[in-house]
Amino acid sequence: MQEGKVPGNILKRSVINLIGRGPGIGVDCADMPAAGARVLSATAVGLSKNAIMPGIAVYKAANNIWAAGGELCGIEAAFLLGTDFTEPELKALTRSVSAACKSCETSLVGGHTEVSGSVNGACVTVTAVGGADRVMSVKNIKPGDDIVVTKWLGLEETAVILSDGGQRERLFERYSARYFEQIENCGEWLTVRDEARIAAKFGATAMHDVSDGGIYGALWDFAEGSGHGFEIDLRNIPFRQETVEISTFFGIDAYRMKSSGSLLIACADGRELVSKLSEAGIPSCVIGRFTDNNDKIIRNEDEISYLGRK
């Protein structure tokens, strides 16, 4: 299999269908009823190839709690280290995870640390734990619901590239460092806590963190999980120009760039939600709506195409 997130068809065939009740396409958060409450958990993995990846794993796990309509209670992290990993590197790893927890206004409350000869570098597995009175689900999406996306797509991959010494050096051979000053710290924009709270209070039908697979992957998850098709306008999908330049320079499909920090929201009145988010200083826009068939339509002016399997 290719590196990265397992494709949806393989995930469904070799994992979800064998488990039965529980996870599903577009469902990134476990929902466990307990003593009258709803306990939520979500897991993400970060590798040590890039210094910010462990912190991004914290954001991914926390975002899945917020996207389910929950509130975050704490973070657990398991560090699996290679035999050549040093104590100073472990301290840096711990500081990275702790700093991300602080950004999420929570704490690192537990975990596990182990060394294995089967590992190169380090692998960090982060589990976020939260709770909710009402858990959102893609199953509640209805035909006619608007599709809203927050902030800008590709922020996660932009942050990773800008923090990688080799890629950064290549980029700055063509562009000046000043050009990217406004997004230099975009790695700090990767939580969806504020927009998720506003959308949940507004009465959103469902929410989904746009992460691996980019906006196309998130839309596919929404459609497969809900059983509905959609129609979107490609011109409305928001990118920062810096991200567009980066995607072009490195030959990356901008619509499939990793995009933690952007939240995909289904709701009955997208324009009103956009207004509510704007009042809180959060940029967002309506990019389309759900339909009563299975077609996944992408419009670009007069051109029509169909989203293929992610």
Residues of the chain with pLDDT below 50 are none
The span from the CA of 72 to the CA of 190, in Å, is: 15
Of 272, 136, 135, the C-alpha closest to 205 is 136
Q: Can you give the pLDDT at residue 132?
A: 87
Q: DSSP of 152-164, one letter per residue?
A: -TTHHHHHHHHT-
SS3 content of the chain, % helix, strand, coil (to 5): 40, 25, 35
Q: Can you give the pLDDT at residue 50?
A: 77
Q: Can you give the pLDDT at residue 230?
A: 97
Q: Can you give the pLDDT at residue 6?
A: 66
The span from the CA of 248 to the CA of 240, in Å, is: 13
Q: Can you give the pLDDT at residue 87?
A: 94
pTM over 0.75, yes/no:
yes
Q: Can you give the pLDDT at residue 168?
A: 93
Q: Can you give the pLDDT at residue 60?
A: 95
Helix (H, G, I), strand (E, B) or coil at 68: coil
Q: Can you give the pLDDT at residue 208?
A: 94
